[in-house]
Chains A and B, each alone.
Chain A
Amino acid sequence: MDWETVIGLEVHAQLKTRSKIFSGAPTAYGAPPNTQANVVDAALPGTLPVLNREAVRMAARFGLAVGATVHKRSVFARKNYFYPDLPKGYQISQYEHPIVEHGRLTIVTDQGEKVIGITRAHLEEDAGKSLHEEGEGVTGIDLNRAGTPLLEIVSEPDMRSAAEAVAYLKVLHTLVRYLDICDGNMQEGSFRCDANVSVRPRGATRLGTRAELKNINSFRFVERAIEYEVRRQIALISGGGTVRQETRLYDSVRDETRSMRGKEEANDYRYFPDPDLPALVISAAFLDEVRAEMPELPEAKRRRFGEEYGLSTYDAGVLTASRELARYYEDTVQAAGVDPKLAANWVTGELAARLNEAGLEINAARVSPVALAGLLRRIADGTVSGKAAKDVFEAMWAGAGDADTVIAAKGLRQVSDDGAIEEIVRQVMAANPKQRSQYQAGEEKVFTFFVGQVMKASRGKANPAKVNDILKRLLRD
């Protein structure tokens, strides 16, 4: 049977606020346990939540960026359950009335563009951490993370393959960093993903029973977890079984998903509006402020790069993958005043390779946009050949100075002087009379032999275009 996979994703993005969503405690990651938690986070008696304006602003920014409705009125509810890292015995979260609804995000796959619906995005607080390696029979509780603001972004079940799910996640990941609302660090759990996966016979209109996959903390694992789960469900149904609606944990070591049956007891979260927090009302003025500070979004930037710089969709996509990379590229183009395509080749080529090798982010590049622009100008004006430029770049990366300094120091200046090149050409012709006769007899392919000889004689420094021109002229004489 031909099967169709249906995937919806729930992403928890930690918002980059300075303080927590309902308390003034700092949100720094990696601090000693329970040093970033205050009396509100630890739910001491009589303490109360007060909502962080910045978290609201960030949620609204996200809503606008995905073309969603940012509701004038939204409501915080309490989700009640007992867990030792949930200090109040309830999580404050938006339930029936989220701040953001009905958005969309465009992804690009091998099949082209596709629009993925965003059902909703809502604000909530993170829980603390349970540490299970604290000793025999005990679990340690660290509340540093408790109360960190989260934006839970729920997609429609619009994705049809693991590849689409990954593409969506990457677009979302890029977007939240563009918006400067989340650092996107998946290792530290700033950007977490749960996947709802089901399969159905192709053509069926009803959705199959879904499993919720939890604990997927990298793009690669999202793909593998979904692929494993799809295989499992198809095998199960094909074998006459049925899929249970349940939560499954992805185990990246064994590359499999496992049922969390132990936790599947009938949860009854008893949601109700939090009486400590009246309805959140967003004024038109507030929304205007948020709109005014909205950066250019990845999709718009990608289209603009295509139109303004004449870049391919692929190059434009690579160069707009992060706000920082795009800024680097544009700074380079502006400083150099050269063909934007040449700049694109260098940023996506040599520069990307060096960064990759060194494991650096673009902000830590050892060649600045201005320095790279200096080199590109020398390529454009014929001072150095493309080949020699790579050596120059390597030296610049190693800290040898700007392009002109390196070119001078290494003697890599290209010979473009007609007289000098003519001199070399004449010497080469004199040394190879037989080949010259062949050329004059119509054996055109001998021409490349002469080019090679001239370049060799100039130790690679002759301007290849000039060599071509002069050879063509003199060989016929």
Chain B
Amino acid sequence: MNAEEIEKVAHLARLGLSEQERKAYAAELSRILGLVSQMNAVATEGVEPMTHPDEAALRLRADVAIPGVSRERLLAGAPQTERGLYLVPKVLE
């Protein structure tokens, strides 16, 4: 992985990385991708991808509204709140 790819992926994942981290990750991730590329040795034409270990159908829930935790408890751990709202730096429209 080159610096440009590291930059792009770090942005997609919203990870702020130091210069040092970028360098280290470029090397490490390349090694990991090397390991991962061993998969290419296996022929998988016609194999159905397996997304869940259990092939059972999705179980559904009855449409019942139940009271949850109070707003105070829900917001208790939030870094910044005001009048019952979570606050974040201004989102530019």
Contacts and interface: CB of A to CB of B under 8 A. Distances in A.
Contacts of B93: 132
B75 interface: yes
Interface in B61-93: 61-66, 68-69, 71, 74-75, 80, 82-93
Given A131-B85, A273-B51, A82 B14 contact: yes
Contacts of A24: 61, 64-66, 68
B12 interface: yes
Interface in B7-32: 12, 14
B67 to A, nearest CB: 8
A27 interface: yes
Given A34-B75, A132-B93, A262-B92, A27 B65 contact: yes
B60 A33 contact: no
Nearest to B59: A50
B61 A50 contact: yes
A280 B71 CA distance: 32
A262 B92 CA distance: 9
A278 B91 contact: no
Interface stretch (A133-141, A186-194, A220-228, A289-297): A133-141
Contacts of B63: 17-19, 52-55
**Chain A interface main SS type:** loop
A371 interface: no
User: Which bracket fits the contact residues of A?
Assistant: 35 or more
**Chain B interface main SS type:** loop
Contacts of B51: 273, 275
B58 A26 contact: no
Interface in A27-52: 27, 32-35, 37-39, 42, 50-52
B40 to A, nearest CB: 20
Contact of A134 (B57, B64, B71, B87): B87
B5 interface: no
A281 B56 CA distance: 9
A278 B88 contact: no
A280 B51 CA distance: 13
Nearest to B86: A141
A33 to B, nearest CB: 5
Q: Which of B14, B80, B86, B92 has the most CB of A within 10 A?
A: B86
B91 A132 contact: yes
Contacts of B65: 18-19, 24-27
B4 interface: no
B54 interface: yes
A101 interface: no
17 contacts: A19-B65, A23-B68, A24-B61, A34-B71, A52-B63, A53-B61, A53-B63, A83-B91, A132-B93, A135-B82, A137-B90, A141-B87, A141-B88, A273-B51, A275-B52, A278-B58, A280-B57
A-B pairs, top 6 by smallest CB distance, nearest first, are A38-B68, A140-B85, A54-B63, A281-B57, A26-B65, A53-B60
